[in-house]
Amino acid sequence: MNFSSRAARITRRELLAGSAVLCGTPSPLVSASQLNGPFSPSSETHAFAVTVDPRASGTPVNPRILGSNVGWAFGGDNMLAPDGSFAPAMLAMARRLSPRVLRYPGGTYSDVFRWEALDNEHVFSRQSLPTLMNTQRFLELCEAVGAEALITVNVVTGSLEEAVRWLKATNIDGMTSRITGRKLPRVKFWEIGNEPYLKEQSRSDIDLRPKEFAHRANHFIRALRQIDSRIAIGLPLTSDTRGGLPVTPYPGFTRKVLGIVDQDFDYVSVHNAYMPFGVKRGLTPRDFYWGAAAGALTVQADLAAMTNLLEEIRPGRTLPIAVTEYSALFTLGAGATDGWISTPAGAVYLADVLRVFAEAPNLLLAAHWSLSANWLFGAIHADGHARPSYQVLQLMGEALKGDRLQSHVQAESVRVRGVGQVAAVEAMPLVEVLATRTHDSGTRVGRTMRLFMINKDPQRTAVGRLNLGSSYPVSARMSLLSAADVFDSRDERDVLVRSDFAPNMGDVQAGIRLPPHGIALLTIELAST
């Protein structure tokens, strides 16, 4: 049964768990041009200006925002060959991406996953599949790419004893890599369940009421902490609404759960960044694009709201937040717009939400959904090529070094109507910038500054001026991600085209050009003084 034939019954949980309907051929997708595309190129430009002081003190960057998810099923979404070994092309791509955190066993999969079993049940098809991507293989993948591990324990159908054995196996007894012969990394991050604040229409047997979840969370936290006091334990919580829409069938979920949980936990995990997720009829491609362009602002507001709620309920303690799943997500069960996840429009949202994560003061980590295959979500396509999400994550990885600097951006703003879970924005800047800096010693180059820039205007080129104060640029290079069709949904190579070049030094301060819906990294070497 294909995706379109079950459109009305597909839920977010089902889609994100790699449902069997998505493991075959998805319904045909079309580009915006086939939908009377909303945007046509314009010869006009819009101006912006960026002021950064490379000499100012900065804040250390958080590389853990460059995380991802790995599911156990289907060979870890094509990361493994049928014999259980790593697929060379997929592993090579994962190494190049270098995710800093990997989460396992993958979203709703965790609600029925038995880590010791040779075969496991697919959460929605209920099909029995070999557990090729088992804990050993998962930790070997973490070893191979240099990632920290995060495991979501099964608090729904699994037992406390299973979770304890899992922690003992990874952190107390330890596992040995069959690839290098070294001890595999211990698992620092543990998560007590996945999205307990949602109900699953097709699997009512895996639903937990808030009170029951809270009591189970107490038992699991206590038992895991007794085995290894050094681990960081996360509790999944949620806001009641996002962008004015209810996002849980259990109003007051977080207050109810935290009114019962009396065990100390270390962080809160949220899934507040699937955007724009439009559910109303009558939305146009233009609406969806601007919703995606503004989506990160709603995520930013939700992170702040969760921080405030936690401080209200648990005064005197600041709990960090982990976004353990996020992705561009336009619609479910609406046809062609479902397939816009892996388009340049989705890339603009992803770039901007990564900027928000990089600037968030209390963010522990973020894990993109997901590393590979997994319908249109995986950063690495099943055939081994890079999707737009991969390219954006890779570019942010190049930018996220050293210290984050304050940048002041002057740019045109536009009003954006509310779309799906994205709240209306009275004045959304058309250009966003993240600035970082590293210090070099022993050369004539004193500092390297990086500007990660997004032009959200889908039609006009942005022409910018850069003010570096008294700092003098020695050389510069630009890496640019661009595309002709903002809703190009072919899911093929080079939907986003990357170009790398050395801009004219005069242009660095007089005329940086960003194409429509373009994402760029400008790296500037500054003279030592």
d(CA 310, CA 307): 5
Class of domain 62-401: alpha beta
How high is the pLDDT of residue 21?
34
Whether the Cβ atoms of residue 462 and residue 511 lie closer than 8 Å to each other: no
Which amino acid does the sequence have at 367?
A: A
Which pLDDT band, with edges at 50, 70 and 90, does 369 fall under? very high
Which pLDDT band, with edges at 50, 70 and 90, does 30 fall under? very low
Which pLDDT band, with edges at 50, 70 and 90, does 79 fall under? very high
CA angle 372, 383, 379 (to 5 degrees): 30
d(CA 298, CA 281): 21
506 φ, ψ (degrees, to nearest 5): -65, -35
The residue-averaged pLDDT of 413-433 equals 96
Whether the Cβ atoms of residue 162 and residue 114 lie closer than 8 Å to each other: yes
Whether the Cβ atoms of residue 150 and residue 192 lie closer than 8 Å to each other: no
The residue-averaged pLDDT of 211-227 equals 98
pLDDT in tens, 190-218: 999 999 999 988 888 899 999 999 999 99
Side-chain-side CA neighbours of residue 385 (13 Å): 12
Can you spell out the DSSP letters for 353-383?
HHHHHHH-TTEEEEEES-SB-TTTT-SB-TT
How high is the pLDDT of residue 3?
25
Looking at the chain, the domain(s) classified CATH 2.60.40.1180 span 45-56+404-527
- Segment among 257-261, 440-444, 462-466 with least mean pLDDT: 440-444
Looking at the chain, the domain(s) classified CATH 3.20.20.80 span 62-401
For 107, residues 6+ apart whose C-beta sits below 8 A from its C-beta are 13, 16, 17, 69, 71, 152, 194, 195, 325, 369
Query: Residue 81 pLDDT > 70, yes or no?
Result: yes
How high is the pLDDT of residue 204?
87
How high is the pLDDT of residue 11?
64
d(CA 39, CA 291): 15
| Cα R_g (the chain), whole angstroms | 23
Find out if CATH 2.60.40.1180 is the number for domain 45-56+404-527: yes
The residue-averaged pLDDT of 426-442 equals 89
Can you spell out the DSSP letters for 424-486?
PEEEEESEEEEEEEEE--SSSEEEEEEEEEEE--SSSEEEEEEE-TT--EEEEEEEEEE-S-T
How high is the pLDDT of residue 9?
42
**3-class DSSP assignment, residue 511:** coil
Which pLDDT band, with edges at 50, 70 and 90, does 16 fall under? low
Whether the Cβ atoms of residue 338 and residue 507 lie closer than 8 Å to each other: no
- Segment among 12-21, 120-129, 242-251 with least mean pLDDT: 12-21
Please provide the average confidence, as pLDDT, over all residues in the chain: 91
Closest to 505 in 3D by CA, of 528, 527, 529: 527
How high is the pLDDT of residue 510?
64
How high is the pLDDT of residue 4?
26
Strands (E), 66-154: 67-69, 101-104, 119-121, 128-130, 148-153
Which pLDDT band, with edges at 50, 70 and 90, does 75 fall under? very high
The residue-averaged pLDDT of 128-148 equals 98
d(CA 194, CA 109): 9
How high is the pLDDT of residue 292?
97
